[in-house]
Amino acid sequence: MIEAVGLTKRYGDKTAVHNLSFQVRPGAVTGFLGPNGSGKSTTMRMILGLDEPTSGQVTIGGYPYRKLPNAPRQVGALLDAKAVHGGRSARNHLLCLAQLSGIPDRRVDEVLGVVGLQDVAKKRSKGFSLGMGQRLGIAAALLGDPQVLLFDEPVNGLDPEGILWVRNLMKSLAGEGRTVFVSSHLMSEMALTADHLIVIGRGQLLADMSVKDFISHNSADFARVRTPDTEPQQREKLTAALTEAGGQVLPEQDGALRVTGLPLPRISDLAHDADVRLWELSPHQASLEEAYMRMTQGAVDYRSTIDQRAGLQQQLPPGAMPPPQAMPVPGQGQPGWYAPPPPQQGGHPFAMPQTPAGAPYASGQPGGPYAAGPAAGTNPYAQPPAPAAPAPATPDTTQRDSEDLR
């Protein structure tokens, strides 16, 4: 069992994990969820003794990882599938790990067969695809036949067959009574694999419960009801009957009704009593993804604003200045909303940002957000023609550069 008590980790003035306490019990697959930057990787590194906690402690079977005798035979982990010497073959990589931990050589061939890499065992790992690298990392984690296993994004780069294989592997390992701790961003996969969830946000615990309870606590089930589209009066009659019976009715974009507060049999009886024909009456239970998004919406550090390319591409009359405020951003002012920092003092408000070469929408690429919309084949940053005038002896480069940027 893995147990964390008051686990805290600070890097300078930044707190990555704050007072985190949880238990990962054997016999179940425990999913470890949280937005980017929430502290999941830091927590896993502290579990494995790679980072020292600022305060608190985390133990495996009652001992810190560094005090476990022959830890690789008790704990297996996949944190970074790329942490492999590219010049070594898959078999030699595993063989080195086995010899360092006193594991028999025959175990290397066994785990290569388990992960399906027996046919490429003698090939150098630098030629492996991302999915093959993941399989090799899983083989390394299984090498010592440990009772505790930690996996960080184990299905990253795998094809559908590989994802199904990992899912079944996790369940079988937990079914043998092992402790299985899996970090992932794939909600649909966690819903099919995990039995229990630990969710953190900004380094703090948000939830520690079963998948079923997590979905129930963070979502509202409802019923979808549809009446004949050609008879709007029946829809209105049903809405009135459901509301009078204590239900809450909201219209859906496709013409259906979303009903909460009433069970399906009661909705059916009310429709029958009101002489309303139903085209649809179906239950809707929120997915893990919906429940997760609702739980973590206030703990997201990196939130996108709307795409403002259209505003930048609008042609302005000569001499006119753009409006002082940008286009409205949905969700502005709501909890968890993120606003980009304002431009530096003294900087030009419309100066071109420094975009890395090859990045999407880099300046000069077709369709980029900084294209001013000139005719095809023209230079979007060319200086507009000026009236004929005597050229100064020393060109005013500062003014010219400012005009170019404008």
Per-residue model confidence as pLDDT tens for the chain (406 residues): 999 999 999 999 999 999 999 999 999 999 999 988 899 999 999 999 999 999 999 999 999 999 998 898 999 999 987 788 888 899 999 999 999 889 999 999 999 999 999 999 899 988 888 889 999 999 999 999 999 999 999 988 888 999 999 999 999 999 999 999 999 888 888 999 999 999 999 899 999 999 988 887 777 678 999 999 888 899 999 999 999 999 999 998 888 999 988 989 999 999 999 999 999 999 887 778 887 787 777 777 766 666 555 544 444 445 444 444 433 333 444 444 333 344 344 433 333 444 444 444 333 344 343 333 444 444 444 444 545 555 445 545 444 444 444 4
Residues of each domain in the chain carrying CATH 3.30.70: 222-290
The neighbour count for residue 161, using CB atoms within 10 Å, is: 10
The domain 222-290 having CATH identifier 3.30.70: the answer here is: yes
Whether 332 and 340 have beta carbons less than 8 Å apart is answered as: no
How far is the CA of 106 from the CAs of 75, 84, 95, 169, 332, in angstroms? 19, 21, 9, 21, 60
Residue 171 exposure: Cα atoms within 13 Å on the Cβ side: 13
| Residue 132 main-chain phi, psi, to 5 deg | -65, -40
What is the end-to-end Cα distance of the chain in Å, rounded? Answer: 62
Residues of each domain in the chain carrying CATH 3.40.50.300: 2-217
Distance (Å, whole) CA 226 – CA 13: 55
Task: Spell out the residues 6+ positions from residue 131 whose beta carbon is closer than 8 angstroms to its own.
Answer: 157, 158, 159, 162
The neighbour count for residue 254, using CB atoms within 10 Å, is: 8
Task: Write down the H helix ranges in 81-222.
Answer: 90-100, 106-115, 130-142, 160-175, 187-193, 211-217
Q: Which CATH number describes the domain made up of 2-217?
A: 3.40.50.300
| Residue 204 main-chain phi, psi, to 5 deg | -120, 150
Q: Which of 31, 15, 23 is nearest to 47 (CA)?
A: 23
Task: Kindly write down the DSSP assignment for every residue of 229-272, as one continuous string.
Answer: TT-HHHHHHHHHHHHHTT-EEEE-TTS-EEEESS-HHHHHHHHH
